[in-house]
Structure 1
């Protein structure tokens, strides 16, 4: 059984395994193949986020090996991010021996497949040991079919010693499953005509277009049709160059905010984003007066859930390619007015203004940098001041839960060791995935961790006014010394109190990981 599964995994390119092992998983790891790579994480949440980052950065599925129900539970926060981001993961957890499950033995769970729901596309436990290869094949193909996403498989530990009938598995390695779904030419022609006829159309983009060549085609579409471009609310990816003159920013994450921001536009075209992922409860009309909305998505659930607009469900990249080819130049339409550039903010001593910190980071990012962002106190300032030029350059936790950023940066560095990763984190969010520092140190990964320290959950503090609450406990975080923690995990780390020191550290020639703690003021101070 074990050799059969290893051969299948090899054929699917799943030779990098992210895990934190327990006794239930040891039989799978027995005689681990020399051409496989096991990436150890110190906590299952970090393991899942590393695999998520790796899969997003490579554009290929990743294999995760967790420990029983407890380990799966530890990973759930980041599993929610993976599901929201449609990351193709094959998530496995070891089940107790089959004969022990009904006895309620330690590390058994008769309903293990219910634990990861609803954050997986499907959850399986093989009905018999001989079904393990076929079940893993089903999980692999289902995870990679659009809309992609994580799939869970529970694997009883005694299944690995079972014999497999070659006739049952001989076809599995050769199986291929393809999604076709060509765009409807008539609908594309009609959409192009509507775009040409609109007086003031606008474009909203989301994570499904953040890959080449779709990313570049969206830029071409915006230029041909003279479209102002917004990122959909709470964007997990930078699906349009933030330095492009057509870029208008990020839509507010509220019903009223979206409607107000898009006022004056008669056709709103949304590509590769949900419509819409609201966060703040600010009711209002879903669309501005006189506006129509059309959106393109690969996710039928999102298409069915949207409260307004016309949905086209299919391959977003193909739709963008077809639409761009059909869209004529619009010289009669007024040029897009670029958004106003933010004013520079001087800083002379700590704590440093976050605006000045982002200006310094942006000015010193290498052209091919990968950026992970999880500093929720100052997300608006980040988007306003950080230049992001190309596809697959930014990653943010899609479900809004903390703990993705730090270990995801490790996964991305494993995927692209030739590119330096810059992980911009809050001091609070760092603690959710801090175990990932150990993996970064052990593999000498090219990551600069930038921890913005304001000694609070600043993102939460920003909700106090809008929610009308007061006297809220648990928002202050005094006494966190991430520099000492990082050094304890084996990383070089330092506190930088000036912009000059930050710039010097950002341009360091250090090949491996480095952690920088940057003091910024608490919100409202």
Structure 2
């Protein structure tokens, strides 16, 4: 017997969805039944492959990590209104990061007296029947729809994926009542293929000829041109394009709140990162006379730092140049263009060559100085003073981590994927990791914490599907982000699906970011001298043993140690623990967690 759920699962597979990250409920009997039918008929296999997720936010984060690595959407299946709500901040992350994901949620049955198969038979089905289930997530979705019939499922799935994979890419949400998914269908509907061949995503757009000439001419005549970007590196080919353009005119490139590697660290025109705290923007901003803002979430905060009043500003974005889903957003610009980064940058480079009569002959020299300054920070370990032992700094930790990975992976670190959710330490992590390879470091692209652990599971699976050849997956999180990531679910999943990764916990004893936000508004107020514990943002007096949470969740499979506490102090201890952790993941294929003590908040 085939049902609408049979068509649903087959349509997902036909559309290229290889994995579904699921959290089952009372609305999914027909799906569970058809999956077992597949196992019986196919020797135990299902299509798509099912990844069980004990927590919905972890499920969606895993699907996001999968899509970020493969460039292709995964499916997420959750339970009615409560499962939809439990995806929580991960909904924000997939929206803001423009990550294509197909989310399906069941809904309470509409019948209650056995009028239809699947009618209400549990008390919760009255409580979970809300007036507009998709309203919970609609403002974050590119498309929402209710499935009303089994025979129309292929069309609605194809339309959903066509929208999800077209700029501005992002999540879509489908839902259906239980009776609809239990609808019996003729086998002919199962035998009909439903590929995406005639449902392509929208082709990448280009700059108009006039815009290309105007921007290229401005860059050619500029004394101090500048490129600002957040995420053009989500497309690795766009990195090559920005390297070409910056090299022609010696244009510094600043990564502003980056979520991808936008330029190799060693490139002479890489001008660092900024997360827009007061006074921390690149010094190039204050002298730039022409600024190209390319795939950038926010180029500057006017109250903190801003460019010259007479600077010529051009905004180019492949999906949403006006940031229409943001309540208020404005950049005073000469031109605002919707164009794909790779295409637009290639156009501009070609136009520069055509228009140019004499290219500049100077070169930036600040990169080497910045690198030496970072090396000094990495190698300067604090001296222990009794009775309080010295803590590690983030540069200490990252310097050891980077060199240890280089020494203990076959590619010397070039085939390592890092998921960065270090929050208040974002700038330091991006700079001290010194990433060279496009796609080698990613973040959530949003601001909801708890992405990295689940995303590591999905990224590991996605890396295998896409044959990325990752030798090591590394997660760098703050202690707050670690707890937000529901480690009990994430490490259980890692064990079940054999997706080992290394987790570095930057443990400063609580949530540093809320304290920094308070100091930004009240720098000398009552709270400026208060400890994290007094401000209620600390995790003391005894910090959780983060490593042992992972060990327990994986039934002893994961490995974990603390460093900088429990008598385990000093440079030698840090180097030994990090090396052991890397080898556990690379050689033994197990998860490893290093809980590293930093200066307490």
Normalising by structure 1, we get a TM-score of 0.91
Offset of residue 446 of structure 1: 3.0
- Alignment of 1:190 with 2:214, yes or no, is yes
Contact 2:317 2:339 in 1 (8 A): yes
Deviation string 1:238-290 (CA, Å, 9 cap, x unpaired) is 22222322211123426876596501111001221134375xxx626753232
1:480 and 1:507, CA in 2 relative to 1: closer, same or farther beyond 3 A?
closer
Query: Counterpart of 1:293 in 2: which secondary structure?
Result: strand
8 A contact 2:300–2:306 mirrored in 1: no
Task: Write the distance in 1 (CA, Å) between the matches of 2:380 and 2:74.
Answer: 44
Deviation at 1:367, TM superposition (A): 1.2
Identify the residue that residue 353 of structure 1 maps to in structure 2.
393
Structure-1 separation of matches of 2:184 and 2:79: 24
Task: Please give the alpha-carbon distance, in whole angstroms, between the structure 1 residues aligned to 2:492 and 2:193.
Answer: 41
Contact 1:359 1:385 in 2 (8 A): yes
Structure possessing the higher radius of gyration over alpha carbons: 2
The aligned counterpart of 2:549 is 485
Residue 391 of structure 2 aligns to a residue in which SS?
Answer: coil
| Cα distance between partner residues in 1 of 2:107 and 2:176 | 5
Residue 5 of structure 2 contacts residue 150 of structure 2 at CA under 8 Å; is this kept in 1?
Answer: no
Residue by residue over 1:322-371, the C-alpha shift from the partner in whole angstroms, topping out at 9 and shown as x without a partner, is 22233338642531232422223333666322210011112233211111
Instruction: State whether structure 2 residue 536 is matched by structure 1 residue 474.
Output: yes
Partner of 1:85: 97
Q: State yes or no: 1:10 paired with 2:13.
A: yes
Q: What runs of 5+ residues in structure 1 fail to find an aligned partner?
A: none
Write the deviation string for residues 139-184 of structure 1: whole angstroms up to 9, x where unpaired: 1111111111001111212212224586899685353224133442
The answer for the alignment partner of 2:492 in structure 1 is 438
Output the CA distance in 2 between the equivalents of 1:183 and 1:6.
40
Q: Greater shift after overlay, 458-467 or 151-160? A: 458-467
Q: How many residues align?
A: 519
Contact kept, 8 Å, 2:233 with 2:261, in 1: the verdict is no
Q: Deviations over 1:412-449 (max 9, x none)?
A: 11111431110011111111111211111222213111
Q: What's the secondary structure of 1:505's corresponding residue? A: helix
Partner of 1:450: 504
**Correspondence list, 1:67-466, <5 A:** 67-99=79-111, 105-163=126-184, 172-173=194-195, 174-180=197-203, 181-232=205-256, 234-253=257-276, 262-276=285-299, 278=301, 283=303, 286-300=306-320, 302=322, 305-309=329-333, 310-328=335-353, 331-339=359-367, 340-341=370-371, 342=374, 343=376, 344-347=378-381, 351-365=391-405, 366-417=413-464, 418-419=469-470, 420-433=472-485, 434=487, 435-466=489-520
SS at structure 1 position matched to 2:106: strand
Alignment deviations for residues 203-232 of structure 1 (CA, whole Å, 9 cap, x no partner): 112213332221122112211210111012
Q: Tell me, what secondary structure is at the counterpart of 1:431?
A: helix
Question: 1:305-328: per-residue Cα shift (whole Å, max 9, x none)?
Answer: 433112110222211222223333
Contact 1:427 1:452 survives alignment (8 Å): yes
Secondary structure at the aligned position of 2:292 is classed as: strand
Structure 2 gaps of 5+ residues are 39-44, 113-118, 385-389, 406-412
Deviations 1:387-430 (A, max 9, x none): 11111111222221111111111111111143111001111111
What TM-score comes out, normalization by structure 2 length?
A: 0.80
Structure 2 Cα separation of the partners of residues 428 and 300 of structure 1: 31
Aligned to 1:495: 562
For the residues of structure 1 that align with 2:305 and 2:402, how far apart are their CA atoms? 36
Q: Distance in 2 between matches of 1:25 and 1:62?
A: 18
2:229/2:253 contact within 8 Å kept: yes
Measured in 2, the distance between the counterparts of 1:336 and 1:26 equals 63
SS at structure 1 position matched to 2:155:
helix
Q: Please, which moves more after superposition, 312-321 or 403-412?
A: 312-321
Instruction: Report if aligned partners of 1:90, 1:140 keep a CA contact under 8 Å in 2.
Output: yes
Contact 2:93 2:444 in 1 (8 A): yes
Question: Would you say the 8 A contact 1:133–1:169 is kept in 2?
Answer: no
Q: Tell me, yes or no, if the aligned pair for 2:561 and 2:577 is still in contact at 8 Å.
A: no
1-structure distance, mates of 2:22, 2:362: 54
- Paired residues of 2:231 and 2:296 also in contact (CA < 8 A): yes
Q: 1:505 aligns with which of 564, 572, 580?
A: 580
Residues 453, 169 of structure 1: CA spacing in aligned structure 2 closer, same or farther, 3 A cutoff? same
- Over aligned residues, Cα RMSD in angstroms? 2.7
- The answer (yes or no) to whether the contact 2:226–2:251 under 8 Å persists in 1 is yes
Bigger Cα displacement from structure 2, 237-246 vs 39-48: 237-246
How much has 1:374 moved relative to structure 2?
A: 1.3
**Partner Cα distance (2:16, 2:193) in 1:** 17
